[in-house]
A and B are shown apart, each in its own frame.
Chain A
């Protein structure tokens, strides 16, 4: 789980904030003007939700070294909690519901993080499955969570901020983008703070971390809490902004694995990595179905698509684990360094 970020000493340095600021200017200023509704609905909204979930899981797994297969459960907890706060607490603004939903997800994360005090690696991963199965079971079993709706599928409330409706594709995109930007910025601050360094210390050598006086148990649970908070909010974006329905089915084990793959492919212990990984995971099936349809025509039905997706994705993950364990981010940094270098020496 050790991700070594490159040694940047020899790279010509642009200010660190430049790229994110340009990207944000583009995302806020240009994309809403030129994007089609397909771009928002099928690509950008799931991309934003999954990126944020990836950021959350990366804090826990990439930085603090605690493997989790319960991400989808924390997303579900967030989505359902936000729905119920919104439904049952009179006058609570949407942003308040979302914040409280994050807190609920964090609390559940801490409970299911307790085994991490005794278990490591593979055994911990298996024990986080308990969260996955328990939360999904509880949400299906107790219809109170879905306001006794017969189908268990409920419409998410319309997005609005202080009376200003955001339920068009662009509005939901801007809503998601803003939440993701704020939480990502805070996550970035966190991982470069003392607490973030404590996470890394525990990941790299737990005994040494304990000896130098890092409160190991407390810090692990904190990692679970913060990670689950972020993943919970990602769940709200997934349900409220992307799908516009709240249902337990979408938050199954497959989703948990998907988020784990996002951070493996994107780059463990890298905030940017979550975005790289999510972009690949979202765009890849769409590209594959286009390509398959183009090459095979009608033979390439949804069954074949689903199967080929899994095969190619599985192969990709194995390739990454072997050839580029630090993920797309490391790949990107190398390419960029080459380009900058070539550009400088001309």
Chain B
């Protein structure tokens, strides 16, 4: 069965990255645990010696259902790491383990040199990790701008009294988070809808707002759970370009779950394939494409699955 065309011509990040990213953000607005901002050439895998994220023997089951079975996975700094697999393979569970939403039954998550039995969700943003959700997890009662600015809530140090009275550091914080949110909105072409309530937006745009909320914190590690599900082909390639641009400009490491094999092949440096909670392959796109087990388990059905089945 022929696979879809892998190379998407429109995925030229520069088209989508306006000046704001070239300039970078003023140094006083960078997160405290500031990391290497220097742009990396696309596709390069930095410093293979020390992975930013490593999973070691992760197992997780729900009742009798084995969601993850003894998974090892390493993610290098600056790479786009895809995780693919059929519905129910355990992809979302894996992201939930990495972000501390689930506690694995066995195994450890090594994040930037520290080992966790359960990643502390509450500290995730401080650790430089941001994520999006397979099912939208936006704050419906807030505007687009406020949703995105909320991605900086972890940095807020002013207390409610200062905010109510408009004294102390609250004013500066408010100004900073708005201007940073506005920069991200511009980057993701969302400026025109900044004051809309997110609940009133079409699905594809909501997905993009969620990406904006994650990106505004300039995370070192970005976990994306099917960011392009339910999108049209052109929306998908636009989104793919944004993901790549974020990596190229910020050096953000990306873990990407995506069903659209075309997008995945074009975008990722390495691909891990899950099936029934097991990792059945872990290699470069070219190798994965030709792996017989992967073709049997997943790619064989890929063309049925292109249109975002398994959302």
Contacts and interface: CB of A to CB of B under 8 A. Distances in A.
A200 interface: yes
A198 interface: yes
B146 interface: yes
Interface stretch (A2-10, A77-85, A152-160, A171-179): A2-10
A203 B133 CA distance: 17
A109 to B, nearest CB: 15
Interface string B116-135: 00000111111000110100
A210 B170 contact: no
B160 A190 contact: yes
Contacts of B154: 212-214
Given A193-B163, A194-B170, A200-B141, A212 B122 contact: no
Nearest to B121: A210
B146 to A, nearest CB: 5
B140 A197 contact: no
A212 B160 contact: no
Contacts of B125: 211-213
Interface stretch (B36-44, B65-73, B195-203, B300-308): B195-203
22 contacts: A189-B163, A189-B166, A190-B163, A193-B160, A193-B163, A194-B153, A194-B170, A197-B139, A204-B139, A205-B137, A208-B139, A210-B121, A211-B99, A211-B101, A211-B125, A212-B150, A212-B151, A212-B153, A213-B122, A213-B123, A213-B154, A215-B122
B140 A4 contact: yes
A195 B173 CA distance: 12
B122 A216 contact: yes
Nearest to A9: B195
A222 interface: yes
Interface residues of A, number: 32
Nearest to A186: B164
A207 B137 CA distance: 8
Interface in A108-158: none
The 10 closest A-B CB pairs, nearest first, are A213-B154, A213-B125, A193-B163, A208-B137, A195-B160, A204-B139, A189-B164, A201-B139, A214-B153, A200-B141
Given A190-B163, A204-B142, A212-B213, A4 B150 contact: no
B56 interface: no
A17 B79 CA distance: 51
Given A200-B139, A208-B133, A209-B150, 20 more contacts: A2-B141, A4-B197, A4-B200, A193-B170, A193-B174, A195-B160, A195-B164, A197-B146, A198-B150, A200-B142, A201-B142, A204-B139, A204-B140, A208-B137, A208-B139, A211-B125, A211-B130, A213-B122, A213-B155, A214-B150
A3 B141 contact: yes
Contacts of B126: 213
A76 interface: no
A193 B164 contact: yes
Interface residues of B, number: 43
Contacts of A190: 160, 163-164
A242 to B, nearest CB: 27
B148 to A, nearest CB: 10
Contacts of A210: 121-122
A242 B158 CA distance: 37
B142 A7 contact: no
Interface string A293-325: 000000000000000000000000000000000
A210 B151 CA distance: 11
Interface of B: 99, 101, 121-126, 130-131, 133, 137-142, 146, 149-151, 153-156, 158-160, 163-166, 170, 173-174, 177, 195-197, 199-200, 213, 217
Nearest to B216: A212
Contacts of A203: 141
A326 to B, nearest CB: 11
Contacts of B174: 193-194
Nearest to A223: B160
Contacts of B137: 205, 207-208
Nearest to B160: A195
Contacts of A194: 153, 156, 158, 163, 170, 173-174, 177
A226 B164 CA distance: 12
Contacts of B173: 194
A222 B161 CA distance: 11
A2 B199 CA distance: 10
Contacts of B121: 210-211
A231 interface: no
A237 interface: no
Contacts of B123: 213
Nearest to B150: A201
Nearest to A195: B160
Contacts of A211: 99, 101, 121, 124-125, 130-131
Nearest to B163: A193
A180 to B, nearest CB: 16
Given A194-B156, A214-B150, A216-B122, A4 B196 contact: no
Contacts of A204: 138-142
B124 A213 contact: yes
A44 interface: no
